[in-house]
Amino acid sequence: MTRHYRIAGVDEAGRGPLAGPVVAAAVILDPTRPIAGLADSKKLSALQREALAEQIMANALAVGVGVIEADEIDRINILQATMRAMIVAVNALKTVPELVRVDGNRAPPLNLPVQTIVGGDGTDRAIGAASIIAKTRRDAIMIEMDRQYPEYNFARHKGYPTAAHLAALEQHGPCPIHRLSFRPVRQSELF
């Protein structure tokens, strides 16, 4: 009989935006309940991501999410905030993994065996699942933030530095979810 290891895939969403949190997810897939179509979240449409996120939540052995808000990103920097979100996500798993695989070349300090995989969101199914959960959770947060701060149109660009977002920043200045330590936001405060 083949032994299946409890492997958690970990990925994040939201390192580059000027507003909103960075969100990390950790997913342990159930080898007896395969999910077709898992891939890097950036290569999927929003509808595909939503459908897969539902399947992941229904079929995975465990899912954990970590959210670090903009004010903490400003205090500790985006890299440290990303690592902290990953730690929170792994610690939120209801099942302890035997191995953690992280997308990229840096791993958070965990008391578990960790592997980093550059491009892992496209090659490792658990990391792909984590990328989908992180992206859909962050998008949902930014759609909610759009209701609170409609002048920035967060539902459309999710806080990324699009021309429309930069124009809104110049016109209205930053709101409470903007990352004040990011240069375009700092520059908008000077006007």
| Domain residue ranges in the chain | 7-149
> pLDDT 10s digit of each residue in the chain, 191 long?
455 579 999 999 999 999 999 999 999 999 999 999 998 888 999 999 999 999 999 999 999 999 999 999 999 999 999 999 999 999 999 999 999 999 999 999 999 999 999 999 999 999 999 999 999 999 999 999 999 999 999 999 999 999 999 999 999 999 999 999 999 998 876 54
A 10 A CB-CB count for 148 gives: 11
C-alpha–C-alpha distance, residues 67 and 69, integer Å: 6
7-149 CATH, one of 3.30.1370.110, 1.10.238.10, 3.30.420.10, 3.30.2320.50: 3.30.420.10
Phi, psi (degrees; rounded to nearest 5) at 61: -70, -40
What pTM was estimated for this model as a whole? Answer: 0.94
Rounded Cα–Cα distance for residues 179 and 3 (Å): 45
